[in-house]
Amino acid sequence: MTGTPAPFTSGDYEARMRHAAEAAAEAGLDGVLVAPGPDLVWLTGYRPVETERFTALVLRPGQDPVLVVPTLEAPDAAAAAPTLTLRDWTDGKDPYEVTGALLPDSGSLGVSDNTWALHLLGLQKRLPATRQIALTEALPMLRAVKSAAELDRLAAAGAAADATYEEIRKVPFAGRGETDVAADVAALLRQFGHSQVDFTIVASGPNGANPHHEAGDRVIEHGDMVVLDFGGLKHGYGSDTSRTVHVGEPDAEEREVHDIVREAQEAGFRAVRPGAACQDVDRAARAVITGAGYGEYFIHRTGHGIGVTTHEPPYMIEGEELPLVPGMCFSVEPGIYLPGRFGVRIEDIVAVTEDGGRRLNTTSRELVIVD
């Protein structure tokens, strides 16, 4: 896919807000409060600066949505969401009083996960009889099933991440710092159309055994395994892919561990089909690694959703019984982490289709040798 997709319209956002209000009513909520962050972007297209000044969208079943904004930010909000009703508050006024009057004073209120504690506590004082519940707990499916237009954007972001991998394979690794390769990755993601780079993991040798290692001072050596994991946003939607490369010829154990992870990733992918549970994807991938004797070294869940953020529900984890639905989009990313030695992770974004899964990352999952 090339070119810039047509932007979402006010009508698209109105449909999302209507859908959210209906889903809230079905879930027994009397209202939903959405603070700045991914839920607000998805529902309204508005992405304000997140500050101590209170901004929130109020959704009530059967009522028109209202966006509460600081007066000085009202023009920006009106430009981003021209058809939305605004209620502004000026410095010196109590925004929780303004907002509290719009919210249910009893029953249940869904609150977006990333609402600042400062703001939630301010509202709780105004609404002592209202029970607050995290939005992903109340409405876990709200953003999980992507529309065709959203899937196109996720596919475009995935293709840009794949193009980045194809180029980064060609750069020299041995003798350069992890941060140097990470800078190359970030530049490539931007070159291929990302407006935002969220992470550029380059974890060489023993650093690869730490799944959260980003990139550090270590100089990459001949003989290193190197975990590459990167992503960000393109046209407002996320990419996230991992491949593990080896500097020079790998030894037998490195090949074996990589083979196991590749097989586990394939098994996780094959478990993707409508009606399967999220945990089935985790179980399928984990069974391969456990069966090969490395179970204790696979120390994280198998995957996470992706959309207007690079990490969101649903999670592919034991205990998550949510059924997969066509249009869901998430990572399948098993790994093996051998402390003090090396790690291997392989990750593709996968979209659920009518009869299985579609990979949005399609670069080779073979162990690639770099210089």
Instruction: Summarize as ranges the residues that interact with Zn ion (CB under 5 A).
Output: 223, 229, 240, 242, 254, 331, 347
Choice between 206 and 323, CB closer to Zn ion = 206
From the list 229, 225, 213, 171, the residue with the least C-alpha distance to 349 is 229
Residue 241 CB, shortest distance to Zn ion, in Å, is 6
Residue 281 CB, shortest distance to Zn ion, in Å, is 13
- Angle separating helix axes 148-168 and 178-191, nearest 10 degrees: 140
What residues contact residue 93 under an 8 Å CB cut-off, 6+ apart?
none
Residue 201 CB, shortest distance to Zn ion, in Å, is 7
Residue 362 CB, shortest distance to Zn ion, in Å, is 16
Choice between 280 and 347, CB closer to Zn ion = 347
Residue 69 CB, shortest distance to Zn ion, in Å, is 33
> What is the secondary structure of 143-196 as a DSSP string?
TTB--HHHHHHHHHHHHHHHHHHHHHTTS--TTSBHHHHHHHHHHHHHHTT-SE
Choice between 29 and 186, CB closer to Zn ion = 186
Longest dimension (CA), the chain: 68
Choice between 30 and 178, CB closer to Zn ion = 178
Counting Cβ atoms within 10 Å, is residue 6 exposed (0-12), middle (13-18) or buried (19+)?
exposed
Residue 246 CB, shortest distance to Zn ion, in Å, is 6
State how far the Cα of 288 lies from the Cα of 2, in Å rounded to an integer.
37
How far apart, in Å, do the first and last CA atoms of the chain sit? 31
From the list 70, 79, 52, 65, the residue with the least C-alpha distance to 24 is 65
State how far the Cα of 215 lies from the Cα of 207, in Å rounded to an integer.
9
Choice between 115 and 242, CB closer to Zn ion = 242
Choice between 242 and 363, CB closer to Zn ion = 242
Residue 303 CB, shortest distance to Zn ion, in Å, is 7
Choice between 55 and 302, CB closer to Zn ion = 302
Residue 366 CB, shortest distance to Zn ion, in Å, is 16
> What is the secondary structure of 210-260 as a DSSP string?
STT----SPBP-TT-EEEEEEEEEETTEE--EEEEEEESS--HHHHHHHHH
